Amino acid sequence: MNHPASTDAAIDSILKDLLLVLPVFRKKLLPMDVSMVTGNLGRLHLAVMGMLSEQGQTATELARTMALPKSQMTPAVAQLVERGVVERQVDARDRRLVNLSLTAHGRVLLEEMRRQVEEHIRGKLSGLAPEDLYRLSDALATIREVVSRVQG
């Protein structure tokens, strides 16, 4: 394996590879239509649902976590509330804060969407040779481990 000589060169190489690999992942593994399950919710809606499935947050926290402007987050959350997927709850300790959480319907919808995505990806990966599957699994484990140490 060829390693860049400096930290800056390594970062440049990572940026180049990420910009090449991420669209390929999206195109090869995720080009599926889950609109029958999601009711035409977009990727942002699904990402918000995923974040809220881990723990409730305020819209400001959610926007910060997802690195999005609150002006983009607010309408997405409003649409999810309107569809009964997300609920707003005034914080018991600070009434100025409004916590967001998935409703029971939102959890069922998210689980069904995840099931369909997993089924789709499983079908795509099943065409790979076992050696390629092991290499991909090892590479993703390494990425997960290293990225977990990234600050912020």
Dump pLDDT digits (tens) for 34-91: 555 566 777 788 889 999 998 889 988 999 988 889 889 999 999 999 999 999 999 8
Task: Look up the pTM and report it.
Answer: 0.70
Question: What percent of the chain is predicted at pLDDT more than 70?
Answer: 90
Instruction: Assess if residue 138 is contained within a domain.
Output: yes
Instruction: Assess if residue 14 is contained within a domain.
Output: no
Instruction: Assess if residue 130 is contained within a domain.
Output: yes
Burial 91-103 (b: 16+ CB within 10 A, else e): eeeeeeeebbebb
Instruction: Assess if residue 8 is contained within a domain.
Output: no
How many residues does this entry show for the chain?
152
State the residue range of the domain holding 131: 32-147
Instruction: Assess if residue 61 is contained within a domain.
Output: yes
Tell me which residue of 83, 89, 86, 17 sits closest to 47, measured CA to CA: 86
Instruction: Assess if residue 10 is contained within a domain.
Output: no
Q: From residue 93, give the alpha-carbon distance in Å to each of 52, 56, 89, 99, 103.
A: 20, 15, 12, 11, 21
Phi-psi region of 103 (alpha: psi -120 to 50; beta: other; left: phi over 0): beta
Instruction: Assess if residue 27 is contained within a domain.
Output: no
Structural domain count, the chain: 1
Instruction: Assess if residue 1 is contained within a domain.
Output: no
State the CATH number of the domain containing residue 70. 1.10.10.10
Q: What are phi and psi of 83, to 5 degrees?
A: -85, 0
SS3 state of residue 135: helix
